Amino acid sequence: MRKTMTGLIAGVGLMWACGTSAQAQELTIFWAEWDPANYLQELANEYEAETGVKVTVETTPWSDFQTKAFTEFNAKGSAYDLVVGDSQWIGAASEAGHYVDLTEFFTKHNLTQVMAPATVKYYSEYPANSKKYWSVPAEGDAVGWSYRKDWFEDPKEMEAFKAKYGYDLAPPKTWAQMRDIAEFFHRPDQKRYGIAIYTDNSYDGLVMGVENAIFSFGGELGDYQNYKVDGIVNSEKNVKALELYRELYGFTPPGWAKSFFVENNQAITENLAAMSMNYFAFFPALVNEASNPNAKVTGFFANPAGPNGEQFAALGGQGISIISYSKNQEEAMKFLEWFIKDETQKRWAELGGYTASAKVLESPEFQNATPYNKAFYETMFKVKDFWATPEYAELLIQMNQRIYPFVTAGQGSAKEALDALAADWNATFKKYGRNK
Amino acid sequence: MATAVMTSLDTKSRAASRGMSDIRIRNLFIIPTILFLIVFNIFPLIYSLGYSFTDFRASSNAPVNFVGLQNYRELLNDPFIWSNFAITAKYVIVSVTGQVIVGFGTAMLLNRDIPMKGLLTTLLLLPMMLSMAVVGLFWKLLYDPSFGIINYTLGLGSFEWLSNPDVALYAVAITDIWMWSPFVMLLSLAGLSAVPKHLYEAAAIDRAGPFYTFFRITLPLVAPILMIAIIFRTMEAFKTFDLAYILTSQPTTEVISIRLYKMAFQEWQTGRSCALAYIVLIMILAITNIYVKYLNKVKER
């Protein structure tokens, strides 16, 4: 009887021990539902083959991503161990204690040198210039452009364009040229339109679209160090940039007032527009003949320069962070150590993920791998981002409220919209005690 | 026979005395229901009322501070919020009026002897059986300026319904009217079929015209049930979220529920959004109260 009891207790003990160990052998990463998340799952499968640790990339549609992630954070839930969170979240998530501080990890692995500088600045560091890091740059991304090479290279079109504008038709080098080309190809009677730009005002679509113009015109959204916005967000440069964006909206296909990444790829695949703005992360679908019948005649270019030659682009992409409420933080840290290795980053890029590793980005192998990788490489070293303060969502909504009526309906003027925005942002920063 | 009844009653009373007394039934069914209501309805209501007086943000671990009426004061002084209320009011008026006209009109047409009346009524009820999200996406395609059937049928070319700030709210209201007129129709049909036939016969003998008959007999008798339909539809239209959110993201269609959602789940201003939810609740209660008073007056007549 005693032997039976001992055996039983030992069995239970063994089961308990195995259970605990099995629990630590699994990691869950939360991300939005898009192709890069599938590539990450493929990469994670290789990690499992190497280490035996099963990593699941759990996804949710983009429209729910922020709400679902923060609901889980707020509940201090341990459903996810890591999150590939949007760059704007970093202030809100770090100040609220949702992310594990990775400063030591950064120093130990010299990540400020390993990763492209802009990616470290916007995906990882908060507050700005504080040398405190909360995530490892994972999916580098920015806004770039695709265009219809066959339309651009048609001799008749080239001749007509040169006759009208006095210079050769080619992928635009400046925003002024882009405006001309958009106007030239805008032919509603033929159901062909000039350009597809971001206009969706429900999250950061429109704002990122306008940022591309603002940053390249030499403008800024404010001083991220001291929260000063007056004279910056409503500067003359920003007014000009917003006016041009409004003008470009006039060359978009009909009903383009709620368009984001899906519609902007459709503009190319469905022969709607000559040029289309989109995140580089969505370009793989454009070179794939299965998803784009025009794949062979689709070209790509980086965000053009503004009137003074400055050339920047709005940052997309995300860093990967360990969630404070995870019960597998140690295991998650090991995964990150594996993720930042050169060979892993190289493999990540091969799978279709956009590495932020400076070494991989600079390699000719990466730059020649796809028709858009070179433009991506050029862009990743000149990106800028929206505010990352905890109240970023309020700032985003206020910007949408002010600029959307002007861009899509021509209500008021660019100056009025930006002056009102400056007032809104000042009030918000005052409310949170940022600009005393 | 009497003996059998007595025996049956005795059995029942014996069963009751064995344990299914009123007190036992109360303990088994009513108290759990009340507890359920308290835990899931009353408690969150009171809890959120408490939060509405604080600066609580669900996304932050910062301490919660009592701010008194500050949230209410700021909300009531916020021009954006008033603009959201104005949009909501406009939407409610257009949508409910449209539903009453279309629904009641259809009920009048159906309230006569026509072939396949049952099948026709069932088919007309289909829109309100569909999910809001499906209806929203479906109508988004119908309104599309490039290939939507509405512009094609009406010969409107590439007229923009959902992108045009002046028209977008009406486009959402038209969809709502299409979806919910059958509800008004159903209730009106019930009211119309309850009007005694002899009143119409008497009116015919007195040679009353159709307008007189409608305004003196039909409408007064159907009015109470029509008022109930209006109350339900007003409350629902005031809370509209799905259709406006799915169809368009125009500032001119940002009804108060969308603003509330953004404030609570995108901006994470939890305390402030609780206050806004209470303002909306008070407004709905006030409107409903006015309607109910009017309904009682109509009933008294």
ipTM of the complex: 0.76
Instruction: Specify the pLDDT at position B251.
Output: 85
d(CA A201, CA A301): 25
Helix (H) or strand (E) holding A374: helix A373-380
d(CA A192, CA A252): 9
d(CA B263, CA B4): 68
Cβ separation A66–B266 shorter than 8 A = yes
Question: Is-contact A115 A288, C-beta < 8 A?
Answer: no
d(CA A124, CA B24): 62
Kindly tell me the sign of the dihedral angle through the C-alpha atoms of A101, A106, A111, A113. positive
d(CA B142, CA B137): 9
A23, pLDDT greater than 90: no
* Residue whose token pair is 């350009």: A195
Question: Which residues are paired to A383 by β-bridges?
Answer: A313
Question: Is-contact B133 B246, C-beta < 8 A?
Answer: yes
CB pairs under 8 A between A and B: 73
Question: Is-contact A351 A46, C-beta < 8 A?
Answer: no
Instruction: Specify the pLDDT at position A22.
Output: 44
* Residue whose token pair is 């000009």: A240
- Torsion angle of alpha carbons B83, B84, B89, B90, nearest 10°? 70
Q: Please report the beta strands in A302-416, taking only residues with DSSP state E, as ranges in sequence order.
A: 313-322, 383-384
Cβ separation A257–B268 shorter than 8 A = no
Report the residue from B80, B145, B163 with minimal CB separation from A408: B163
Cβ separation A258–B251 shorter than 8 A = no
Determine the average pLDDT of the residues in A204-217.
96
**Chain B neighbors of A390, CB-CB under 8 A:** 59-60
Question: Is-contact A432 A426, C-beta < 8 A?
Answer: no
d(CA A255, CA A408): 10
Tokens of A417: 């919209």
d(CA B90, CA B98): 12
**Chain A neighbors of B61, CB-CB under 8 A:** 96-97
Residue B32, C-beta contacts closer than 8 angstroms, at least 6 positions apart: none
d(CA A197, CA A261): 9
Tokens of A138: 């994972």
Instruction: Specify the pLDDT at position A21.
Output: 43
Cβ separation A257–B80 shorter than 8 A = no
Of A133, A135, A137, nearest in space to A103 by CA:
A133
- Give CA angle at B105 (B99, B107), nearest 5°: 100
Phi then psi dihedrals of residue A386, to 5 deg: -75, 170
Instruction: Specify the pLDDT at position A18.
Output: 45
Instruction: Specify the pLDDT at position A111.
Output: 95
Using a 10 angstrom Cβ sphere, with 0-12 exposed, 13-18 middle and 19 or more buried, the burial of residue B155 is: exposed
Q: How far is CA A194 from CA A242, A251, A292, in A?
A: 18, 5, 19
Report the residue from A203, A254, A397 with minimal CB separation from B267: A397
Determine the average pLDDT of the residues in A68-97.
93
3-class DSSP state for residue A192? strand
Cis amide bond preceding A390, omega within 30: no
**Chain A neighbors of B249, CB-CB under 8 A:** 200-202, 258
3-class DSSP state for residue A194? strand
Question: Is-contact B21 B12, C-beta < 8 A?
Answer: no
* The amino acid at A153: E
Q: How far is CA A9 from CA A6, A17, A324, in A?
A: 5, 12, 34
- Give CA angle at A81 (A360, A84), nearest 5°: 40
Chain centroid, CA A174 distance in Å: 22
d(CA A127, CA B140): 42
* The amino acid at A71: T
pLDDT single digits (tens) A240-272: 999 999 999 999 999 898 899 999 999 999 999
Q: Tell me the shortest Cα–Cα distance from B189 to chain A, in angstroms.
A: 39
Q: Tell me the shortest Cα–Cα distance from A23 to chain B, in angstroms.
A: 28
d(CA A402, CA A404): 6
Of A204, A194, A198, A339, nearest in space to A273 by CA:
A194
Q: For B251, name the nearest residue in chain A, comparing CA atoms only.
A: A401
**Chain A neighbors of B165, CB-CB under 8 A:** 405, 408-409, 411
Of A241, A239, A267, nearest in space to A252 by CA:
A267
Q: How far is CA B144 from CA A225, A435, B164, in A?
A: 45, 45, 12
Radius of gyration (C-alpha) of chain A in whole angstroms? 24
d(CA A329, CA B137): 42
Instruction: Please indicate, yes or no, whether the overall pTM of this predicted structure exceeds 0.80.
Output: yes
Tokens of A71: 């609901």
Cβ separation B249–A201 shorter than 8 A = yes
Question: Is-contact B270 B278, C-beta < 8 A?
Answer: no
More confident residue, B16 or A103: A103
Cβ separation B60–A401 shorter than 8 A = no
Cβ separation B60–A393 shorter than 8 A = no
A17, pLDDT greater than 70: no
Query: How confident is the prediction along chain B (301 residues), in pLDDT tens digits per residue?
Result: 444 444 445 555 555 555 678 888 888 888 999 999 999 999 999 999 999 999 998 888 788 999 999 999 999 999 889 999 999 999 999 999 999 999 999 999 999 888 888 999 999 999 999 999 999 999 999 999 888 999 999 999 888 899 888 999 999 999 999 999 999 999 999 999 999 999 999 999 999 899 999 999 999 999 999 999 999 999 999 999 999 998 987 888 999 999 999 999 888 899 999 999 999 999 999 998 998 898 888 777 6
Report the residue from A74, A203, A255 with minimal CB separation from B163: A255
Reported as half-sphere exposure (CB side, CA atoms, 13 A), residue A215 has a value of 21
Instruction: Specify the pLDDT at position A320.
Output: 97
Tally Cβ neighbours within 10 Å of residue B64: 14
Phi-psi region of B287 (alpha: psi -120 to 50; beta: other; left: phi over 0): alpha
Q: Where do the H-state alpha helices sit in chain B?
A: 2-18, 22-25, 31-37, 43-51, 70-76, 79-110, 117-129, 132-143, 149-154, 168-193, 197-205, 210-213, 219-238, 242-247, 256-261, 270-300
Phi-psi region of A195 (alpha: psi -120 to 50; beta: other; left: phi over 0): beta
Chain centroid, CA A323 distance in Å: 20
3-class DSSP state for residue A31? strand
Q: Tell me the domains of chain A and their CATH numbers.
A: 24-140+315-382 (3.40.190.10), 141-312+388-430 (3.40.190.10)
According to DSSP, the β-strands at A26-32 and A82-86 are: parallel
Instruction: Specify the pLDDT at position B1.
Output: 43
Radius of gyration (C-alpha) of chain B in whole angstroms? 26
3-class DSSP state for residue A345? helix
**Chain B neighbors of A393, CB-CB under 8 A:** 266-268
Question: Which residues are paired to A59 by β-bridges?
Answer: A31
**Chain A neighbors of B262, CB-CB under 8 A:** 397
Tokens of B163: 């992108």
